[in-house]
Structure 1
Amino acid sequence: MERLIDPRAFREVLGAFASGITVVAAVGDDGRPAGLACQSFASLSLDPPLVLLCVGRSSTSWPAVQAAGRFGVSILAEEQRAVCEALGRRGGEKFADVGWEASRHGAVHITGALATLDCALETVHEAGDHHLVTARVLALAARDGGAPLLYFRSDYATGAFA
C-alpha cells in the first residue's frame, strides 16, 4: 500500500496537540456541519497513520459524524475558546457563529485552527460511557505559529503551567 502520510510530518503535526482541545466535525447528509468539541484525542500509529478519540455515548452530534464516515479534527488555538464553547454545548445550531470550510475529503475544518486532519473512520468500540474511535489520517496540515487552547484542572488554560 502506498504511504500517504510521511511519518515525520505526522509526528510534527500531532505534536501541536498538548492536552488540548479539538473539534471533530463532518458535513452531514443535509449538507450542514455536525460536530463536537473533543478533549480525548491522541495519535495512535505512524504506519498506518491513525488517531484515536473518545466520544461520550450520549453525544447527539456523534451519530451524524459517524454516519458521514469521514471527518475533520481541528486542533484549536488559544484564541478559540468561543469555538470550543459553541461546539461543546448540546443541541441548537452549534456552527452559527463558527467559521469553517469543507475539505476535499468531506471533512469540516475550523477556521483559524492550529492544525487540521482529514480522517476516515476505521473502528468504533464501546468503552464504558464512551465510544473509542480509531480513524485513518488521509491528509493533514499545520499553520505556522500560535499556541494551543488547553483544558487544565477543569478550566481553560494557555501557555505554560506547572
Structure 2
Amino acid sequence: MIDQETFVELMSGVCAPVTVVTATAADGRPHGSTVSSFASLSLAPPLVSFALDRSSRLLPHLPPGAPVGVNILGAHQQDLASKFARRHQGPGSKFDHVTWAIRTGLPYLPESAGWTAGRVERHVDGGDHILLVVSVEEAESTPTPPLVYARRTFGTHSGLAVAS
C-alpha cells in the first residue's frame, strides 16, 4: 500500500470541479461546504455523487432522503470557495456577506456556473469520507467558465489544445 503523502501528491494533480454543497437545517438555517469531489454518476437515472469528510458539519443535514443543492462555482468565485472551505464557523455564518437565495428550499448561489438539486439516495462508506449518491431533480448550466482546483491552486480552463 502507498503512503498517504504519495497518494495526496498524486491526487493534487487531478483537476477537480469546485462546488458548494448546500442544505437547509430543520431550524431553517443554511449550511454549506466547499466540495471538490463532485462527479456525474449516471445518466439514466440522473445521479451525481460527492464525498464529505466523516467529521463534516454538513453531513448530519444530509441523511438519505434529504434535499441537497450543488452550486458549481464559476472562475470568478475563488473567494466563495475559500470561505465555504473554512471549518469551525457558527451555523449559517458561512452565508454572512454572501449573495444567496432560496431555490427549491435550498441555499443557492445565483452567480455560480451551474446548479443542481435533488435528494440524497444513499451513503456509501469511503474510508475517512462518506460518498453521497444524489438523485438529480433540477439542473441549470450557464456559459460561465467553471472554477477548478489542482496542485493546491484555483484556476479555470480554456479550450483544450489538440495533442500531437
Counterparts of 1:1-162 in structure 2, within 5 Å, are 19-66=16-63, 69-92=66-89, 93-104=93-104, 106-143=105-142, 145-160=143-158
For structure 2, the residue ranges without an aligned partner over 5 or more in a row are 1-14
RMSD after superposition: 1.9
C-alpha contact (below 8 Å) 1:24/1:73 kept by paired residues: yes
SS at match of 2:125: strand
Relative to the length of structure 1, the TM-score reads 0.81
Q: What is the total number of aligned residue pairs between the two structures?
A: 143
Structure 2 distance, partners of 1:55, 1:83, is: 18
SS at match of 2:80: helix
What is residue 7 of structure 1 aligned with on the other side? none
C-alpha contact (below 8 Å) 1:27/1:65 kept by paired residues: no
Larger gyration radius, structure 1 or structure 2: 2
Structure 1 distance, partners of 2:72, 2:124, is: 23
For structure 1, the residue ranges without an aligned partner over 5 or more in a row are 1-17
| 1:1-35 CA distance string (max 9 Å, x none) | xxxxxxxxxxxxxxxxx721011101111111111
